[in-house]
Structure 1
Amino acid sequence: MSAELSGRVAIVTGAAGQYGRHISRALAGAGATVVIASRQLDACEEFAAELRDEGASAVAIALDQADESSITTFVGEVIDRLGRIDVLVNNAVLRRGGVPAETTYADWAATSTVNSTGLFWLTTQVAERMAAAGRGSIINIASIYAMIAPDFSLFEETAIAPTPPFYAFDKAGMLGLTRYFAAYYGPSGVRVNAISAGGLLSDAMDPAFIAGYSRRTALRRPAGPDDIKGPLLFLASDASGYVTGINLPVDGGRTL
């Protein structure tokens, strides 16, 4: 069975960012109409236009995951404009603070509002509509840091700032929510899974960090832009029709 998504509508949150763009292109390439969602509407509209110029189907709709009314309005607008929601990819993440002593109360509250509360509210709104339709796939983009602690010696070797504590906390919670929603909405035909992604290569990445990170993976390299494509399309499509509640590490063996 192929990872065919023609005629389906897929929401990608945080779609204007690096990972979001790779995810959106993968879904669009499989035939889905992709909803490019982010607080940065101008960036979303520009990216959606870029996808349309390439022959894909994409629309941009504003979403502020820190605002309950924005989430509710967003979901309603997707339904009004496109008539259905088949796939939700929870990719948005707000980053604030640093190591524990450098993270303020306000930093923690802000990240929790988006990465936990907003995630829950959006996923619930979408899952209820999927359940009413009797189908749907929700994919939560988690992290290796939901599974293991950061190796702080790696950050000491480079100019890259260590992973903040909120990130481990929120991504671990995302895995718990994945299992909960999979069990709760499974009888209604809604599948909920997670991908725990490893480090994604970017042009701005410190070469020393790339070398150090690569030594810590079984495949001796960070993730490239295409590495998430196959796992994502598998979970989004009918190819994984009997798969729910799992966490799929896409990390080159970093968490072995």
Structure 2
Amino acid sequence: MAISQMLTIAAIATGAVAQLKTCSNNGTFSCQSSSKSPTCCFNYPGGALLQTQFWDTDPATGPDDSWTIHGLWPDNCDGTYQSSCDSSRQYTNITEILKSQDRSDLVTYMDKYWVSNSGSSESFWEHEWGKHGTCINTIKPSCYSDYSPQEEVGDFFQKVVDLFKTLDTYKALESAGITPDESKTYELSDIQSALAKIHGNATPYLGCDSDSLSEVWYFFNVAGNAIDGQYKATDTLSKTSCPSSGIKYLPKSSSN
């Protein structure tokens, strides 16, 4: 499928306002330019940004009627990626940082929708920031016009949540008659079609664990910086791990 139509993500005003430097190249999308130089207004090499989600059933995490947040990952426009790019900013106090920025409501939301199935939420957030957030070049401290320590951390987590709120995977599947069930199975193409409707007609990546639906990754190209730039939905750069048919979508309650 060709690159899809533009999908602009509206900012949700919560917490501090980003003081990132103004970008004048909002018409230049990442992964779609001959430029190979990272700037505060051009995401490179991690030009594609992925809003990733989990469907955990064993053990179950989050509400029974919602997928949960995995993260926001920069991808090198080809399915490869950098990781853990700045050890000096691999913080171990994400909750404290967010609360110090008057983002307590954000923490409350994350406690419900951004949870780990194998450890504390705090350690999960630390991992996602350290491994992926530090590799987004357009939110480096040098990209702020009036930088406050750890300001980019709050902006990162707020942006992930804002994107997640625009991509309600559970409702999109439910609208297509695809609901969690112990015995029903579904076609890959039907699941992809249902999710493309909330993603600018672009096909997301679907992940399966033993033929059971477990992950979705929504790919974007971005013009400007990763926080207040313009997001455009694009097709997956990764091959699905799900079969073409016989996909299970187990209810979370099945693990209780």
Higher helix share: 1
- Which gives a bigger RCO, structure 1 or 2 (Cα 8 Å, sep 6+)? 2
TM over 0.5: no
Structure 2 length-normalised TM: 0.29
